[in-house]
């Protein structure tokens, strides 16, 4: 009798076990009360908990609970649920920062998941690296930047495990969720899977394309769902057909309800939502799918979250990534000998590049911007999303030279490059700088031979990383790059430490600009 593989057994178990309702459905009134009273401060805490008893037992006890203030709710939950763990990050004396970060992979790595009944976790069959802090699961776009450091540390075993996990998620759910939690299933994050495959392809060759091509095609189909039946001037889920017939993409979410991990914040924002379209929660969730949650990019008036209109916007970064995705699909189809399919993806990439330049390039301002397809113009909100066409090799040489000038004149700061030029109190705006945006800017500039500015940005970013680490022993999720003596801020939760993508980008920059060889 043929022996069943461990992965097959894992899949069978998941199919039977993963019928858990999302926390709002599973716990209903208890969920709302805990989140709205902020019994745990961070709304993400409760939705990550695992119950100690069967739901009907807990709900029966809750129905009998007389007092339901924040303190009483907290005590009730602590008595009936297991709190989610956040392993501390330790520093071994005598290690350099580079050595510490290489050691830190073990702290941030989770083994394949065990299945826990009524947990929101979507179990994965292989090991993976989490960002750290409140982020206790795998995150989609974070992982690409984490992998930059894993490659420097020669941890291709972990890179492949994470790619296998993502392929598993695509196969099971049709896309890669924001993270492996059931409350994230209605949305994805920026589509870096093709770039991750390319990273492993650099090490292992065409066998990587062959292995992951089915997953690549299936995820691409998720992003393009509905494109073939759209009429010009209409949108469906993540695709928009413009009046000239060009198809570009937007961020979206299929669930028009408050995010469960930020329930109180979304309910509060919706009360003052200024548009009359009934899409407050859809726009907030689409902003979360973008990874830029939240930013002036998505605000109609630039400054206020209550004017959020993410689904009206064709993001320059998303469409640059999908251009790169189509290019990788073309290369992968060639590698497996399917020349007709390769040509099809080549044509799609050519059309997208032309549309990207037509709709997102502002000739007067000499920079790439998001495009508002309801207003039929570029948003002209200055952000580092405008460097993504350089990262994806979708800009002309002249455009790249102009982007370089803008980055140097408008975005360069003492600690690297600033996310946007606006102070909104949101975390994806000034004065904050983020590891992924430093990497994308540096890589984009290097693609077009602008190595001096790329090196300046990388060195300034590493300096602020090192300065904060020396003072605190921590690597942070984001940094204040305008005043490196102050902390970053904004957003829905305190700055987290750990931190996967910061570690990864620092190691990559160190290997590129400070070390003759990787340590």
Rounded mean pLDDT, 385-396: 98
The model's confidence at residue 20, banded by pLDDT at 50, 70 and 90, is confident
Res 517: pLDDT: 45
Residues 440-475: tens digit of each pLDDT: 999 999 999 999 999 999 999 999 999 999 888 889
Rounded mean pLDDT, 117-122: 97
Helix axis angle for 451-472 and 97-108, nearest 10°, is: 70
C-beta separation of 500 from 433 below 8 A: no
Res 519: pLDDT: 31
Res 1: pLDDT: 41
Percent residues over pLDDT 70 in the chain: 95
Res 516: pLDDT: 56
Which residue, 421, 462, 466, 470, is CA-closest to 439? 462
Whether 194 shows a pLDDT value over 50: the answer reads: yes
Ranking 7-11, 71-75, 138-142, 394-398 by mean pLDDT, the lowest is 7-11
The alpha carbon dihedral of 87, 90, 96, 102 has a sign of: negative
The model's confidence at residue 4, banded by pLDDT at 50, 70 and 90, is very low
The model's confidence at residue 6, banded by pLDDT at 50, 70 and 90, is low
The model's confidence at residue 95, banded by pLDDT at 50, 70 and 90, is confident
Residues 294-330: tens digit of each pLDDT: 999 999 999 999 999 999 999 999 999 999 999 999 9
Rounded mean pLDDT, 148-176: 98
CA distances from 311 to 47, 429, 507 (A): 26, 19, 35
Rounded mean pLDDT, 355-380: 98
Whether 19 shows a pLDDT value over 70: the answer reads: no
Residues 272-297: tens digit of each pLDDT: 999 999 999 999 999 999 999 999 99
Whether 17 shows a pLDDT value over 70: the answer reads: no
Rounded mean pLDDT, 15-31: 82
Whether 161 shows a pLDDT value over 70: the answer reads: yes
373/73 Cα distance (integer angstroms): 45
Res 121: pLDDT: 97
**Where do we find the tokens 């689904």?**
311
Catalytic residues, by residue number, are 293, 477
What's the mean per-residue pLDDT of the chain? 94
| DSSP-assigned states of every residue in 110-170 | EPSPPP-TT-SB---SS-EE--BTTB-S-BHHHHHHHHHHHHHTT-HHHHHHHHHHHHHHH
The model's confidence at residue 7, banded by pLDDT at 50, 70 and 90, is low
Whether 498 shows a pLDDT value over 90: the answer reads: no
Whether 414 shows a pLDDT value over 50: the answer reads: yes
């Amino acid at each position: 009798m043929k022996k069943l593989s461990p992965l097959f057994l894992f899949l069978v178990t998941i199919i039977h076990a993963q019928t858990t309702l999302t926390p709002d459905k599973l716990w209903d009134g208890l969920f709302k009360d805990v989140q709205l009273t902020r019994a745990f401060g961070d709304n993400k805490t409760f939705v990550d908990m695992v119950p100690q008893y069967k739901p009907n037992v807990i709900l029966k006890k809750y129905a009998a609970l007389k007092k339901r203030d924040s303190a009483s709710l907290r005590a009730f939950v602590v008595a009936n649920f297991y709190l989610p763990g956040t392993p501390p990050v330790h520093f071994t004396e005598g290690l350099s920062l580079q050595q510490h970060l290489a050691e830190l992979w073990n702290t941030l790595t989770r083994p394949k998941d065990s299945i826990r009944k009524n947990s929101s976790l979507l179990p994965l069959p292989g090991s993976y690296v989490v960002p750290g802090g409140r982020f206790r699961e795998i995150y989609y776009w974070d992982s690409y930047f984490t992998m930059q450091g894993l490659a420097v540390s020669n941890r291709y075993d972990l890179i492949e495990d994470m790619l296998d996990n993502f392929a598993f998620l695509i196969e099971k759910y049709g896309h890669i969720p924001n993270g492996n939690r059931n409350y994230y299933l209605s949305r994805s994050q920026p589509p870096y899977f093709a770039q991750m495959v390319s990273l492993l392809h650099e090490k292992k060759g065409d066998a990587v394309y062959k292995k992951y091509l089915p997953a690549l095609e299936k995820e691409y189909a998720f992003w393009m769902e509905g494109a073939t039946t759209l009429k010009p001037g209409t949108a469906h889920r993540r695709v928009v057909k413009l009046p000239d017939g060009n198809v570009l993409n937007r961020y979206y979410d299929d669930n028009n309800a408050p995010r469960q991990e930020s329930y109180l914040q979304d309910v509060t924002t919706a009360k003052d939502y200024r548009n009359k379209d009934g899409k407050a929660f859809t726009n907030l969730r689409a902003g979360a799918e973008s990874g830029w949650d939240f930013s002036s990019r998505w605000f109609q008036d630039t400054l206020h979250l209550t004017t959020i209109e993410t689904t009206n916007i064709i993001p320059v970064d998303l469409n640059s990534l999908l251009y790169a995705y189509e290019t990788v699909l073309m290369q992968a189809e060639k590698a497996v000998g399917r020349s007709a399919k390769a040509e099809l993806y080549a044509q799609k990439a050519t059309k997208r590049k032309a549309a990207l330049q037509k709709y997102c390039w502002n000739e007067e301002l000499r920079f790439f911007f998001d495009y508002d397809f309801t207003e039929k113009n570029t948003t002209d909100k200055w952000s580092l999303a405008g460097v993504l066409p350089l990262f994806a090799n979708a800009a002309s040489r002249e455009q790249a030279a102009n982007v370089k000038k803008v980055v140097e004149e408008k975005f360069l700061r003492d600690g690297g490059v600033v996310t946007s030029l606006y102070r909104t109190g949101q975390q994806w705006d000034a004065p904050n700088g983020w590891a992924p945006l430093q990497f994308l800017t540096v890589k984009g500039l290097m693609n077009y031979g602008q190595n001096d500015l790329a090196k300046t940005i990388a060195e300034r970013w590493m300096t602020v990383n090192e300065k904060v680490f020396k003072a605190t022993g921590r690597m942070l999720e984001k940094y204040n790059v305008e005043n490196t003596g102050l902390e970053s801020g904004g957003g829905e939760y305190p700055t987290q430490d750990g931190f996967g993508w910061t570690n990864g980008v620092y190691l990559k920059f160190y290997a590129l600009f400070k070390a003759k060889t990787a340590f």
